[in-house]
Structure 1
Amino acid sequence: MKRIAPLAAVFALAACGQGDTTGGDAGDADTASDPLVYQGAITVLQPTQRDSAGLCAFVAESYPPQCEGLPVAGWEWDAVEHEEAQGVRWGTFVVTGTFDGKQFTLTEDPLLLSEVDPADYQPAEPEIGEPAEDLTAAELTAIADDMGERFPATVFGGVADEAHGVALVDALLVTPEMWAYAEDNFPEGAVAFTAVLQPVE
């Protein structure tokens, strides 16, 4: 089944009008008293076999679309405009909320992507410094794979960026635990993250 990248999925599905329009495990949980709040543009989808909506890092190019997304608490389809076909409901939104290690909980009402400037919600470029060690492509790939195995709820891909000498890890969002794990287990500067949802400052 063919897949498309997260931001491509967001904008492709935002333009999709074939459906009926209806009205409106992971790493350790964040133990801070004030959990980080994340925000970004993403596809939200609920297939027929699931009881809750999910945030989709990848969306299958099918109709209706398909994905296995991170569960979203507080989502109400009746409160937002969305597409629906064959029992599947989906749309592209700007979401704001917190992550407890298992699910994403909304802290603000979602916004339709079509009602905002998408350029304001582009993922930030990864922060790539000077790696402390020269690692091989195989070593960088192993690091990316390790991050995916350790944080399966948030990491959805990774590659060896040989040009910069880092493991480039693709994530739905990056938690403090993910940063700490990378710093504690790999050479300094060996991991760089790209994230769909960014911390709200």
Structure 2
Amino acid sequence: MRRTALGTMLTLGLLLAACGSDDRADPQTDDGWEPDDAPLVEVEGTVIVADGAEPQVCAVVRESLPPQCGAGVGIEGLDPDDLDGLDGAGRDGGVLWGAARLTGTFDGERLTLTEAPAAVSGEPAGTSTTGGPIEGAVAEARDAVLDLADERDATVLGYRAVGDALEVTVVDPRGPLAAAVREEFDDGDVRVVIDGWLTHRDE
């Protein structure tokens, strides 16, 4: 059960350079995008390259040395040498990491780079849990969102109450979890706003 990444992480990584929260595109299916239809996206996060493991760009990073990815997606086409000189770049044993802005196609599980990593655009933003108290109908909506994530083995990166609404942060604002949340709360008593870590280039 993956539920929310917030409950188990000590430190939040780079997140949400920009957010998507609209219904302008058809969501991907549970089987992912067809290769020719994989959308072009951008994301900012902590890139971690460990010997013998798939490189990852992380929305949530565990506080350790070397850092460990708490929630993120795999990367294809990465040249680790491109991380040299980027913000926060470091190396410890067989692990290399650094903050980067990545551009590539996303198939629902993995980011295939179409450009070399670039420096992040500004101050990193963490997943915010500030806001009003989560109680009553908003708390019930939060629990329902986490159940939807469990059913899809998906990760909720964060959530907070904003007035009488619930703001939820997911990896992909056009993915199956976001689509399921929109369908579940389309006519509900609580308004649920979806924010995404990935930014689609056509937004």
The equivalent residue for 2:104 is 97
Question: Cα gap change, 1:89/1:171 in structure 2, threshold over 3 Å: closer, same or farther?
Answer: same
The equivalent residue for 1:130 is none
5+ unaligned residues in a row in structure 1: which ranges?
11-25, 126-134
Residue by residue over 1:50-71, the C-alpha shift from the partner in whole angstroms, topping out at 9 and shown as x without a partner, is: 4211111111122221114321
The equivalent residue for 1:165 is 165
Q: Is the 8 A contact 1:137 1:160 kept in 2?
A: no
Q: Is the 8 A contact 1:140 1:159 kept in 2?
A: no
Matched, 1:28 2:31: yes
Provide the C-alpha distance between the structure 1 equivalents of 2:152 and 2:122, rounded to a whole number of angstroms.
28
Pairing 1:181-192 to 2, within 5 Å after superposition? 181-188=180-187, 190-192=191-193
Pairing 1:142-157 to 2, within 5 Å after superposition? 142-153=143-154, 155-157=155-157
RMSD: 3.3
Question: Cα gap change, 1:40/1:87 in structure 2, threshold over 3 Å: closer, same or farther?
Answer: same
Instruction: Look up the SS of the partner of 2:180 in the other structure.
Output: helix
Pairing 1:98-117 to 2, within 5 Å after superposition? 98-113=105-120, 117=121
Question: Cα gap change, 1:98/1:164 in structure 2, threshold over 3 Å: closer, same or farther?
Answer: farther
For normalisation by structure 2, the TM-score amounts to 0.67
Shift of 1:92: 0.6
Question: Cα gap change, 1:164/1:38 in structure 2, threshold over 3 Å: closer, same or farther?
Answer: farther
5+ unaligned residues in a row in structure 2: which ranges?
1-7, 18-28, 129-135
Q: Is the 8 A contact 1:45 1:54 kept in 2?
A: yes
The equivalent residue for 2:50 is 47
Question: Cα gap change, 1:105/1:88 in structure 2, threshold over 3 Å: closer, same or farther?
Answer: same
Question: Cα gap change, 1:62/1:147 in structure 2, threshold over 3 Å: closer, same or farther?
Answer: same
Question: Cα gap change, 1:57/1:156 in structure 2, threshold over 3 Å: closer, same or farther?
Answer: farther
The equivalent residue for 1:63 is 65
Residue by residue over 1:129-164, the C-alpha shift from the partner in whole angstroms, topping out at 9 and shown as x without a partner, is: xxxxxx7133212222024224545x3334352623
Shift of 1:198: 0.8
Residue by residue over 1:38-88, the C-alpha shift from the partner in whole angstroms, topping out at 9 and shown as x without a partner, is: 11221111234x421111111112222111432111112023314211211
Provide the C-alpha distance between the structure 2 equivalents of 1:151 and 1:95, rounded to a whole number of angstroms.
25
Instruction: Look up the SS of the partner of 2:183 in the other structure.
Output: helix
Instruction: Look up the SS of the partner of 1:143 in the other structure.
Output: helix
Q: Is the 8 A contact 2:33 2:108 kept in 1?
A: yes
Larger relative contact order (CA 8 Å, sep ≥ 6)? 2
Provide the C-alpha distance between the structure 2 equivalents of 1:174 and 1:45, rounded to a whole number of angstroms.
23
Shift of 1:89: 1.0
For normalisation by structure 1, the TM-score amounts to 0.68
Pairing 1:66-77 to 2, within 5 Å after superposition? 66-68=68-70, 69-77=72-80
